Structure 1
Protein backbone atom coordinates (compact mmCIF):
# COMPACT_ATOMS: atom_id res chain seq x y z
CA UNK A 1 0.00 0.00 0.00
CA UNK A 2 1.21 3.50 -0.83
CA UNK A 3 0.03 7.02 -1.60
CA UNK A 4 1.31 6.87 -5.19
CA UNK A 5 -1.33 8.48 -7.44
CA UNK A 6 -3.84 8.63 -4.59
CA UNK A 7 -5.84 11.86 -4.48
CA UNK A 8 -5.86 13.38 -1.00
CA UNK A 9 -7.80 16.51 -0.03
CA UNK A 10 -6.49 18.21 3.13
CA UNK A 11 -8.26 21.04 4.96
CA UNK A 12 -6.38 23.32 7.34
CA UNK A 13 -3.40 22.87 5.02
CA UNK A 14 -1.87 26.35 5.25
CA UNK A 15 0.10 25.69 8.44
CA UNK A 16 0.88 23.22 11.21
CA UNK A 17 -0.13 19.60 10.87
CA UNK A 18 -1.94 20.14 7.57
CA UNK A 19 1.03 21.86 5.97
CA UNK A 20 3.49 19.16 6.97
CA UNK A 21 1.11 16.35 6.02
CA UNK A 22 0.77 17.91 2.56
CA UNK A 23 4.56 18.00 2.17
CA UNK A 24 4.88 14.40 3.39
CA UNK A 25 2.13 12.97 1.18
CA UNK A 26 3.43 14.83 -1.84
CA UNK A 27 6.85 13.30 -1.14
CA UNK A 28 5.16 9.88 -1.08
CA UNK A 29 3.63 10.36 -4.53
CA UNK A 30 0.12 11.58 -3.77
CA UNK A 31 -1.91 14.06 -5.78
CA UNK A 32 -2.77 16.64 -3.15
CA UNK A 33 -5.54 19.21 -2.88
CA UNK A 34 -4.93 21.86 -0.24
CA UNK A 35 -7.58 24.00 1.45
CA UNK A 36 -7.77 26.72 4.08
CA UNK A 37 -8.94 30.33 4.27
CA UNK A 38 -5.46 31.68 3.49
CA UNK A 39 -4.72 31.35 -0.24
CA UNK A 40 -1.35 33.11 0.07
CA UNK A 41 -0.17 30.62 2.68
CA UNK A 42 -1.46 27.71 0.57
CA UNK A 43 0.65 28.91 -2.35
CA UNK A 44 3.68 28.87 -0.07
CA UNK A 45 2.93 25.29 1.02
CA UNK A 46 2.51 24.24 -2.62
CA UNK A 47 6.03 25.47 -3.40
CA UNK A 48 7.37 23.30 -0.57
CA UNK A 49 5.75 20.17 -2.00
CA UNK A 50 7.47 17.85 -4.43
CA UNK A 51 5.85 17.60 -7.88
CA UNK A 52 4.00 20.88 -7.38
CA UNK A 53 2.10 20.29 -10.62
CA UNK A 54 0.26 17.55 -8.71
CA UNK A 55 -0.80 20.01 -5.99
CA UNK A 56 -4.07 21.96 -6.38
CA UNK A 57 -5.49 24.73 -4.20
CA UNK A 58 -9.06 25.43 -3.09
CA UNK A 59 -9.59 28.25 -0.57
CA UNK A 60 -12.50 27.54 1.75
CA UNK A 61 -13.90 28.58 5.11
CA UNK A 62 -15.29 25.74 7.24
CA UNK A 63 -17.37 28.27 9.16
CA UNK A 64 -19.28 28.92 5.91
CA UNK A 65 -20.45 25.31 5.92
CA UNK A 66 -23.69 25.95 4.06
CA UNK A 67 -21.77 26.92 0.92
CA UNK A 68 -19.23 24.11 0.52
CA UNK A 69 -20.89 22.20 -2.35
CA UNK A 70 -19.09 24.15 -5.13
CA UNK A 71 -15.80 23.49 -3.36
CA UNK A 72 -16.45 19.73 -3.41
CA UNK A 73 -17.37 19.77 -7.10
CA UNK A 74 -14.21 21.75 -7.85
CA UNK A 75 -12.01 19.39 -5.84
CA UNK A 76 -13.34 16.29 -7.61
CA UNK A 77 -12.86 17.94 -11.02
CA UNK A 78 -9.09 18.37 -10.56
CA UNK A 79 -8.18 14.68 -10.79
CA UNK A 80 -11.57 13.11 -11.51
CA UNK A 81 -11.79 11.54 -8.07
CA UNK A 82 -10.84 11.87 -4.41
CA UNK A 83 -9.56 8.86 -2.51
CA UNK A 84 -8.98 10.38 0.92
CA UNK A 85 -10.52 13.39 2.65
CA UNK A 86 -8.41 14.68 5.55
CA UNK A 87 -10.55 16.88 7.81
CA UNK A 88 -7.74 18.77 9.51
CA UNK A 89 -9.07 22.34 9.67
CA UNK A 90 -10.05 23.74 13.04
CA UNK A 91 -9.34 26.19 15.82
CA UNK A 92 -8.52 25.84 19.52
CA UNK A 93 -9.44 27.65 22.74
CA UNK A 94 -7.72 28.93 25.88
CA UNK A 95 -10.22 30.30 28.42
CA UNK A 96 -12.28 29.35 31.45
CA UNK A 97 -15.82 28.26 30.60
CA UNK A 98 -17.32 30.93 32.85
CA UNK A 99 -15.43 33.64 30.96
CA UNK A 100 -16.17 32.39 27.44
CA UNK A 101 -18.87 34.22 25.49
CA UNK A 102 -21.52 31.94 23.99
CA UNK A 103 -20.63 33.34 20.56
CA UNK A 104 -17.17 31.83 20.99
CA UNK A 105 -18.66 28.45 21.94
CA UNK A 106 -20.77 28.61 18.78
CA UNK A 107 -17.81 29.51 16.58
CA UNK A 108 -15.79 26.56 17.83
CA UNK A 109 -18.69 24.20 17.14
CA UNK A 110 -19.34 25.77 13.72
CA UNK A 111 -15.74 25.38 12.56
CA UNK A 112 -14.51 22.25 14.29
CA UNK A 113 -17.69 20.18 14.17
CA UNK A 114 -20.34 21.45 11.76
CA UNK A 115 -17.87 22.55 9.09
CA UNK A 116 -16.13 19.18 9.25
CA UNK A 117 -19.25 17.05 9.06
CA UNK A 118 -20.81 19.27 6.37
CA UNK A 119 -17.79 18.78 4.10
CA UNK A 120 -17.75 15.05 4.83
CA UNK A 121 -21.45 14.65 4.03
CA UNK A 122 -20.96 16.39 0.70
CA UNK A 123 -18.17 13.93 -0.13
CA UNK A 124 -20.15 10.81 0.75
CA UNK A 125 -22.06 10.46 -2.55
CA UNK A 126 -18.72 10.40 -4.40
CA UNK A 127 -17.25 7.78 -2.08
CA UNK A 128 -20.41 5.64 -2.10
CA UNK A 129 -20.63 5.77 -5.89
CA UNK A 130 -17.02 4.56 -6.13
CA UNK A 131 -17.53 2.04 -3.30
CA UNK A 132 -14.21 3.27 -1.99
CA UNK A 133 -12.83 6.10 0.13
CA UNK A 134 -11.31 7.10 3.43
CA UNK A 135 -12.30 9.89 5.77
CA UNK A 136 -9.53 11.06 8.10
CA UNK A 137 -10.29 13.42 10.98
CA UNK A 138 -7.77 15.31 13.09
CA UNK A 139 -9.40 15.40 16.50
CA UNK A 140 -7.34 15.69 19.70
CA UNK A 141 -6.41 13.91 22.90
CA UNK A 142 -8.86 16.47 24.31
CA UNK A 143 -11.47 14.69 22.21
CA UNK A 144 -11.08 11.83 24.68
CA UNK A 145 -10.62 13.79 27.93
CA UNK A 146 -11.60 17.30 29.03
CA UNK A 147 -9.04 19.67 30.54
CA UNK A 148 -9.20 23.23 31.94
CA UNK A 149 -9.36 26.20 29.55
CA UNK A 150 -10.58 24.04 26.67
CA UNK A 151 -14.24 23.32 27.48
CA UNK A 152 -15.70 24.33 24.11
CA UNK A 153 -12.76 22.94 22.17
CA UNK A 154 -13.07 19.62 24.00
CA UNK A 155 -16.82 19.59 23.31
CA UNK A 156 -16.28 20.10 19.59
CA UNK A 157 -13.70 17.31 19.45
CA UNK A 158 -15.79 14.91 21.55
CA UNK A 159 -18.64 15.54 19.10
CA UNK A 160 -16.43 14.50 16.19
CA UNK A 161 -15.73 11.15 17.86
CA UNK A 162 -19.43 10.48 18.33
CA UNK A 163 -20.33 11.40 14.76
CA UNK A 164 -17.50 9.59 13.01
CA UNK A 165 -17.75 6.43 15.11
CA UNK A 166 -21.38 6.22 14.01
CA UNK A 167 -20.50 7.07 10.42
CA UNK A 168 -17.85 4.34 10.32
CA UNK A 169 -20.46 1.73 11.18
CA UNK A 170 -22.89 3.09 8.59
CA UNK A 171 -20.34 3.10 5.76
CA UNK A 172 -18.69 -0.25 6.42
CA UNK A 173 -20.78 -1.96 3.73
CA UNK A 174 -19.66 0.65 1.18
CA UNK A 175 -15.96 -0.06 1.72
CA UNK A 176 -15.41 3.43 3.19
CA UNK A 177 -13.14 3.70 6.18
CA UNK A 178 -12.85 6.32 8.94
CA UNK A 179 -9.59 7.17 10.71
CA UNK A 180 -9.58 9.38 13.81
CA UNK A 181 -6.18 10.92 14.54
CA UNK A 182 -5.77 12.30 18.06
CA UNK A 183 -2.77 14.60 18.47
CA UNK A 184 -1.28 15.49 21.80
CA UNK A 185 0.94 18.55 21.99
CA UNK A 186 2.43 19.39 18.58
CA UNK A 187 4.79 22.31 17.98
CA UNK A 188 2.50 24.43 15.79
CA UNK A 189 0.78 27.81 16.06
CA UNK A 190 -2.40 26.23 17.44
CA UNK A 191 -2.06 27.91 20.84
CA UNK A 192 -1.13 31.26 19.29
CA UNK A 193 -4.32 31.22 17.21
CA UNK A 194 -6.51 29.78 20.00
CA UNK A 195 -9.59 31.82 20.89
CA UNK A 196 -9.89 33.57 24.23
CA UNK A 197 -13.18 34.33 25.98
CA UNK A 198 -14.04 37.32 23.80
CA UNK A 199 -13.11 35.59 20.54
CA UNK A 200 -9.72 37.20 20.00
CA UNK A 201 -6.59 35.13 19.44
CA UNK A 202 -4.45 34.27 22.45
CA UNK A 203 -1.26 35.23 20.56
CA UNK A 204 0.91 33.30 23.01
CA UNK A 205 2.75 30.03 22.46
CA UNK A 206 1.98 27.59 25.29
CA UNK A 207 5.05 25.99 26.85
CA UNK A 208 3.60 22.50 26.38
CA UNK A 209 2.85 23.24 22.72
CA UNK A 210 6.35 24.62 22.15
CA UNK A 211 7.81 21.42 23.61
CA UNK A 212 5.46 19.21 21.62
CA UNK A 213 6.12 16.78 18.78
CA UNK A 214 7.82 18.28 15.72
CA UNK A 215 5.12 18.68 13.02
CA UNK A 216 7.17 17.04 10.27
CA UNK A 217 7.66 13.93 12.41
CA UNK A 218 3.99 14.00 13.39
CA UNK A 219 3.07 14.06 9.68
CA UNK A 220 5.11 10.92 9.03
CA UNK A 221 3.30 9.07 11.82
CA UNK A 222 -0.07 10.37 10.65
CA UNK A 223 0.64 9.26 7.07
CA UNK A 224 1.50 5.78 8.33
CA UNK A 225 -1.76 5.60 10.31
CA UNK A 226 -3.74 6.67 7.23
CA UNK A 227 -2.09 4.02 5.06
CA UNK A 228 -2.84 1.35 7.67
CA UNK A 229 -6.45 2.61 7.84
CA UNK A 230 -6.30 2.73 11.61
CA UNK A 231 -9.68 3.38 13.22
CA UNK A 232 -8.22 5.58 15.95
CA UNK A 233 -4.64 6.55 16.73
CA UNK A 234 -3.03 8.64 19.48
CA UNK A 235 0.03 10.54 18.28
CA UNK A 236 1.17 12.12 21.49
CA UNK A 237 3.66 12.11 24.32
CA UNK A 238 3.66 9.54 27.10
CA UNK A 239 1.67 11.67 29.56
CA UNK A 240 -1.10 12.44 27.07
CA UNK A 241 -1.45 8.78 26.08
CA UNK A 242 -1.42 7.76 29.74
CA UNK A 243 -4.27 10.18 30.42
CA UNK A 244 -6.42 8.51 27.74
CA UNK A 245 -5.95 5.05 29.21
CA UNK A 246 -6.30 6.29 32.78
CA UNK A 247 -9.66 7.84 31.80
CA UNK A 248 -10.75 4.52 30.33
CA UNK A 249 -9.76 2.27 33.23
CA UNK A 250 -9.44 4.60 36.24
CA UNK A 251 -11.68 7.63 35.55
CA UNK A 252 -11.71 8.87 39.16
CA UNK A 253 -7.92 8.90 39.25
CA UNK A 254 -7.77 11.01 36.09
CA UNK A 255 -10.43 13.34 37.44
CA UNK A 256 -8.31 14.04 40.52
CA UNK A 257 -5.24 14.58 38.35
CA UNK A 258 -7.00 17.06 36.08
CA UNK A 259 -8.30 19.17 38.97
CA UNK A 260 -4.68 19.84 39.89
CA UNK A 261 -3.86 21.33 36.49
CA UNK A 262 -3.30 25.08 36.38
CA UNK A 263 -6.27 27.14 35.21
CA UNK A 264 -4.47 30.46 35.08
Structure 2
Protein backbone atom coordinates (compact mmCIF):
# COMPACT_ATOMS: atom_id res chain seq x y z
CA UNK A 1 0.00 0.00 0.00
CA UNK A 2 1.24 3.50 -0.84
CA UNK A 3 -0.45 6.55 0.67
CA UNK A 4 -0.60 10.10 -0.65
CA UNK A 5 -0.09 13.39 1.15
CA UNK A 6 -2.21 15.32 -1.36
CA UNK A 7 -4.90 17.45 0.36
CA UNK A 8 -3.61 16.31 3.78
CA UNK A 9 -3.09 18.59 6.78
CA UNK A 10 0.49 17.99 7.92
CA UNK A 11 1.93 19.51 11.10
CA UNK A 12 5.74 19.65 11.31
CA UNK A 13 7.58 20.53 14.51
CA UNK A 14 11.21 21.62 14.36
CA UNK A 15 10.29 23.11 10.98
CA UNK A 16 12.63 26.11 11.12
CA UNK A 17 15.76 24.20 10.04
CA UNK A 18 17.36 20.84 9.37
CA UNK A 19 15.17 17.77 8.99
CA UNK A 20 11.91 19.61 9.69
CA UNK A 21 12.61 22.24 7.05
CA UNK A 22 13.65 19.61 4.50
CA UNK A 23 10.48 17.59 5.10
CA UNK A 24 8.35 20.72 4.70
CA UNK A 25 9.97 21.66 1.40
CA UNK A 26 9.73 18.13 0.05
CA UNK A 27 6.05 17.84 0.98
CA UNK A 28 5.33 21.27 -0.53
CA UNK A 29 6.08 19.93 -4.00
CA UNK A 30 2.40 18.93 -3.88
CA UNK A 31 0.69 22.34 -3.97
CA UNK A 32 -2.57 20.95 -2.57
CA UNK A 33 -1.04 20.05 0.79
CA UNK A 34 -1.78 22.11 3.92
CA UNK A 35 1.24 22.63 6.19
CA UNK A 36 1.54 23.73 9.80
CA UNK A 37 5.10 24.85 10.56
CA UNK A 38 6.14 25.01 14.21
CA UNK A 39 9.35 25.86 16.08
CA UNK A 40 10.44 28.65 18.40
CA UNK A 41 12.00 30.97 15.78
CA UNK A 42 9.13 32.70 14.00
CA UNK A 43 11.37 34.52 11.48
CA UNK A 44 12.87 31.22 10.34
CA UNK A 45 9.43 29.65 10.11
CA UNK A 46 8.29 32.50 7.87
CA UNK A 47 11.36 31.97 5.70
CA UNK A 48 10.54 28.28 5.30
CA UNK A 49 6.87 29.10 4.62
CA UNK A 50 7.93 31.47 1.85
CA UNK A 51 10.24 28.86 0.34
CA UNK A 52 7.45 26.28 0.14
CA UNK A 53 5.76 28.30 -2.59
CA UNK A 54 2.36 27.27 -1.22
CA UNK A 55 -0.65 29.57 -1.23
CA UNK A 56 -0.87 31.63 1.96
CA UNK A 57 -4.10 29.89 2.99
CA UNK A 58 -2.33 26.54 2.85
CA UNK A 59 0.46 27.37 5.32
CA UNK A 60 0.07 28.14 9.01
CA UNK A 61 3.12 29.47 10.81
CA UNK A 62 2.63 28.50 14.45
CA UNK A 63 5.50 29.36 16.84
CA UNK A 64 5.72 26.82 19.63
CA UNK A 65 8.01 25.80 22.49
CA UNK A 66 7.89 22.04 23.03
CA UNK A 67 9.07 22.43 26.62
CA UNK A 68 6.01 24.56 27.44
CA UNK A 69 3.64 21.61 27.60
CA UNK A 70 0.77 23.66 29.06
CA UNK A 71 0.62 25.71 25.85
CA UNK A 72 0.38 22.75 23.46
CA UNK A 73 -3.39 22.05 23.70
CA UNK A 74 -4.00 25.67 22.72
CA UNK A 75 -1.77 25.20 19.68
CA UNK A 76 -3.77 22.13 18.69
CA UNK A 77 -6.97 24.19 18.93
CA UNK A 78 -5.49 26.80 16.57
CA UNK A 79 -4.61 24.16 13.98
CA UNK A 80 -8.01 22.49 14.23
CA UNK A 81 -9.88 25.78 13.95
CA UNK A 82 -7.86 26.66 10.85
CA UNK A 83 -8.05 23.37 8.95
CA UNK A 84 -10.77 21.26 10.61
CA UNK A 85 -8.59 18.18 10.94
CA UNK A 86 -5.01 16.99 11.55
CA UNK A 87 -3.85 14.10 9.35
CA UNK A 88 -0.10 13.89 10.05
CA UNK A 89 2.19 15.13 12.80
CA UNK A 90 5.92 15.00 12.03
CA UNK A 91 7.66 15.33 15.40
CA UNK A 92 11.17 16.63 14.68
CA UNK A 93 11.84 19.08 17.50
CA UNK A 94 14.71 18.02 19.73
CA UNK A 95 18.07 18.84 21.27
CA UNK A 96 21.24 16.79 21.66
CA UNK A 97 24.11 16.65 24.15
CA UNK A 98 27.91 16.52 24.29
CA UNK A 99 29.00 15.72 27.86
CA UNK A 100 29.83 12.79 30.10
CA UNK A 101 27.52 11.51 32.83
CA UNK A 102 30.03 12.47 35.52
CA UNK A 103 30.26 16.09 34.33
CA UNK A 104 26.65 16.74 33.30
CA UNK A 105 24.49 18.93 35.52
CA UNK A 106 21.14 17.32 36.32
CA UNK A 107 19.31 20.31 34.86
CA UNK A 108 20.67 19.35 31.43
CA UNK A 109 18.90 15.98 31.67
CA UNK A 110 15.70 17.72 32.72
CA UNK A 111 15.85 20.06 29.73
CA UNK A 112 16.60 17.28 27.24
CA UNK A 113 13.74 15.14 28.49
CA UNK A 114 11.38 18.12 28.58
CA UNK A 115 11.92 18.82 24.88
CA UNK A 116 12.71 15.40 23.40
CA UNK A 117 10.23 13.29 25.34
CA UNK A 118 7.67 15.08 27.50
CA UNK A 119 6.98 17.75 24.87
CA UNK A 120 6.48 15.09 22.20
CA UNK A 121 4.18 13.09 24.48
CA UNK A 122 2.19 16.19 25.43
CA UNK A 123 1.63 17.21 21.81
CA UNK A 124 0.68 13.65 20.89
CA UNK A 125 -1.82 13.49 23.74
CA UNK A 126 -3.34 16.80 22.68
CA UNK A 127 -3.73 15.72 19.02
CA UNK A 128 -4.87 12.17 19.78
CA UNK A 129 -8.59 12.86 20.48
CA UNK A 130 -8.91 14.59 17.10
CA UNK A 131 -7.31 11.69 15.24
CA UNK A 132 -9.41 9.12 17.08
CA UNK A 133 -12.60 11.05 16.25
CA UNK A 134 -11.52 11.25 12.59
CA UNK A 135 -10.82 7.53 12.46
CA UNK A 136 -7.38 8.17 10.99
CA UNK A 137 -4.10 9.91 11.80
CA UNK A 138 -0.38 9.41 11.48
CA UNK A 139 2.50 10.24 13.84
CA UNK A 140 5.97 10.36 12.28
CA UNK A 141 8.51 10.56 15.09
CA UNK A 142 12.17 11.40 14.68
CA UNK A 143 14.20 9.23 17.03
CA UNK A 144 17.86 8.45 16.28
CA UNK A 145 20.32 5.62 15.93
CA UNK A 146 21.00 6.74 19.52
CA UNK A 147 17.44 5.66 20.28
CA UNK A 148 18.50 2.06 19.72
CA UNK A 149 21.92 2.04 21.42
CA UNK A 150 23.96 4.09 23.87
CA UNK A 151 27.11 6.05 23.04
CA UNK A 152 29.58 8.26 24.88
CA UNK A 153 28.62 11.83 25.81
CA UNK A 154 24.99 11.32 24.76
CA UNK A 155 23.48 9.73 27.89
CA UNK A 156 20.52 12.12 28.20
CA UNK A 157 19.94 12.28 24.46
CA UNK A 158 20.04 8.48 24.15
CA UNK A 159 17.68 8.09 27.10
CA UNK A 160 15.15 10.52 25.61
CA UNK A 161 15.19 8.77 22.24
CA UNK A 162 14.95 5.30 23.78
CA UNK A 163 11.87 6.54 25.67
CA UNK A 164 10.17 7.56 22.43
CA UNK A 165 10.32 3.98 21.17
CA UNK A 166 8.61 2.61 24.27
CA UNK A 167 5.86 5.23 24.15
CA UNK A 168 5.08 5.11 20.44
CA UNK A 169 5.31 1.33 20.12
CA UNK A 170 2.65 1.19 22.84
CA UNK A 171 0.55 3.88 21.18
CA UNK A 172 0.71 2.07 17.84
CA UNK A 173 -0.52 -1.16 19.41
CA UNK A 174 -3.37 0.61 21.23
CA UNK A 175 -4.68 2.65 18.29
CA UNK A 176 -3.94 0.60 15.17
CA UNK A 177 -7.48 -0.77 15.01
CA UNK A 178 -8.81 2.81 15.20
CA UNK A 179 -6.94 3.75 12.02
CA UNK A 180 -3.89 5.45 13.53
CA UNK A 181 -0.36 4.76 12.31
CA UNK A 182 3.12 5.44 13.70
CA UNK A 183 6.49 5.57 11.96
CA UNK A 184 9.61 5.86 14.10
CA UNK A 185 12.61 7.05 12.10
CA UNK A 186 16.18 6.64 13.33
CA UNK A 187 18.54 9.02 11.51
CA UNK A 188 22.24 8.39 11.48
CA UNK A 189 24.58 11.26 10.66
CA UNK A 190 22.53 13.90 8.83
CA UNK A 191 24.06 17.25 7.86
CA UNK A 192 22.13 19.53 10.22
CA UNK A 193 23.00 21.86 13.09
CA UNK A 194 22.10 19.32 15.79
CA UNK A 195 25.68 19.01 17.06
CA UNK A 196 26.19 22.79 16.98
CA UNK A 197 23.06 23.31 19.06
CA UNK A 198 23.76 20.44 21.47
CA UNK A 199 24.10 21.14 25.19
CA UNK A 200 27.38 20.86 27.05
CA UNK A 201 27.76 19.72 30.67
CA UNK A 202 26.46 23.01 32.07
CA UNK A 203 23.65 23.44 29.56
CA UNK A 204 25.46 25.88 27.29
CA UNK A 205 25.56 25.55 23.52
CA UNK A 206 28.19 23.10 22.23
CA UNK A 207 28.71 25.47 19.28
CA UNK A 208 30.74 23.06 17.12
CA UNK A 209 29.85 20.98 14.11
CA UNK A 210 30.91 17.37 14.66
CA UNK A 211 33.03 15.90 11.87
CA UNK A 212 30.61 13.03 11.32
CA UNK A 213 27.69 15.46 11.10
CA UNK A 214 29.63 17.60 8.64
CA UNK A 215 30.07 14.59 6.34
CA UNK A 216 26.56 13.26 6.87
CA UNK A 217 23.68 12.71 4.48
CA UNK A 218 21.94 15.88 3.29
CA UNK A 219 18.68 16.75 5.02
CA UNK A 220 16.99 16.81 1.61
CA UNK A 221 17.98 13.23 0.81
CA UNK A 222 16.93 12.17 4.30
CA UNK A 223 13.50 13.78 3.79
CA UNK A 224 13.00 11.95 0.50
CA UNK A 225 13.82 8.59 2.08
CA UNK A 226 11.64 9.30 5.13
CA UNK A 227 8.59 10.24 3.07
CA UNK A 228 9.05 7.13 0.95
CA UNK A 229 8.97 5.04 4.14
CA UNK A 230 5.87 6.83 5.44
CA UNK A 231 4.06 6.30 2.14
CA UNK A 232 4.73 2.59 2.62
CA UNK A 233 3.57 2.79 6.27
CA UNK A 234 6.87 1.44 7.61
CA UNK A 235 6.72 1.14 11.39
CA UNK A 236 10.44 1.80 11.92
CA UNK A 237 13.13 2.92 9.49
CA UNK A 238 16.88 3.60 9.74
CA UNK A 239 18.27 6.29 7.45
CA UNK A 240 21.93 7.26 7.16
CA UNK A 241 25.28 5.71 6.36
CA UNK A 242 27.29 2.87 7.84
CA UNK A 243 26.56 4.15 11.35
CA UNK A 244 23.08 2.60 11.07
CA UNK A 245 24.75 -0.84 11.07
CA UNK A 246 25.23 -0.32 14.80
CA UNK A 247 21.53 -1.06 15.28
CA UNK A 248 21.99 -4.53 13.83
CA UNK A 249 25.17 -5.10 15.85
CA UNK A 250 23.23 -4.20 18.99
CA UNK A 251 20.61 -6.81 18.10
CA UNK A 252 22.85 -9.65 16.96
CA UNK A 253 26.36 -8.94 18.34
CA UNK A 254 25.87 -6.73 21.40
CA UNK A 255 29.26 -7.57 22.93
CA UNK A 256 31.07 -6.48 19.78
CA UNK A 257 29.13 -3.20 19.64
CA UNK A 258 29.92 -2.54 23.30
CA UNK A 259 33.66 -2.87 22.63
CA UNK A 260 33.44 -0.58 19.60
CA UNK A 261 31.55 2.10 21.53
CA UNK A 262 33.79 2.10 24.61
CA UNK A 263 36.97 2.20 22.49
CA UNK A 264 35.76 5.03 20.29
CA UNK A 265 37.48 8.37 20.83
CA UNK A 266 36.09 11.90 20.74
CA UNK A 267 32.51 13.09 20.31
TM-score (norm 1): 0.98
Q: What secondary structure is seen at the aligned counterpart in 1 of 2:152?
A: coil
CA–CA separation in structure 1 for the residues paired with 2:80 and 2:241: 36
Choose from 30, 40, 48 the match for 1:28: 30
Name the structure 1 match of 2:51: 48
CA–CA separation in structure 2 for the residues paired with 1:232 and 1:204: 30
Choose from 12, 16, 19 the match for 1:17: 19
Segments of structure 2 that go 5 or more residues without pairing to the other structure are none
CA–CA separation in structure 2 for the residues paired with 1:209 and 1:171: 36
Choose from 245, 252, 256 the match for 1:253: 256
Name the structure 1 match of 2:197: 193
CA–CA separation in structure 1 for the residues paired with 2:265 and 2:55: 45
| Cα offset, 1:28, TM superposition | 2.8
Name the structure 1 match of 2:187: 183
Choose from 145, 165, 170 the match for 1:166: 170
2:99 corresponds to 1:102: no
2:265 corresponds to 1:262: yes
2:218 corresponds to 1:244: no
The residue correspondences of 1:62-211 to structure 2 (distance < 5 A) are 62-211=66-215
CA–CA separation in structure 1 for the residues paired with 2:124 and 2:233: 17
| Cα offset, 1:130, TM superposition | 0.6
- Note if contact 1:35-1:58 (Cα within 8 Å) is conserved in structure 2: yes
CA–CA separation in structure 2 for the residues paired with 1:92 and 1:140: 10
| Cα offset, 1:109, TM superposition | 0.4
Deviations 1:115-138 (A, max 9, x none): 000000110100000110001100
CA–CA separation in structure 2 for the residues paired with 1:111 and 1:241: 24
RMSD over equivalenced CA pairs, Å? 1.0
Segments of structure 1 that go 5 or more residues without pairing to the other structure are none
TM-score (norm 2): 0.96
Deviations 1:139-169 (A, max 9, x none): 1000001110100000000000010001100
CA–CA separation in structure 2 for the residues paired with 1:138 and 1:28: 22
**Number of aligned positions between the proteins:** 263
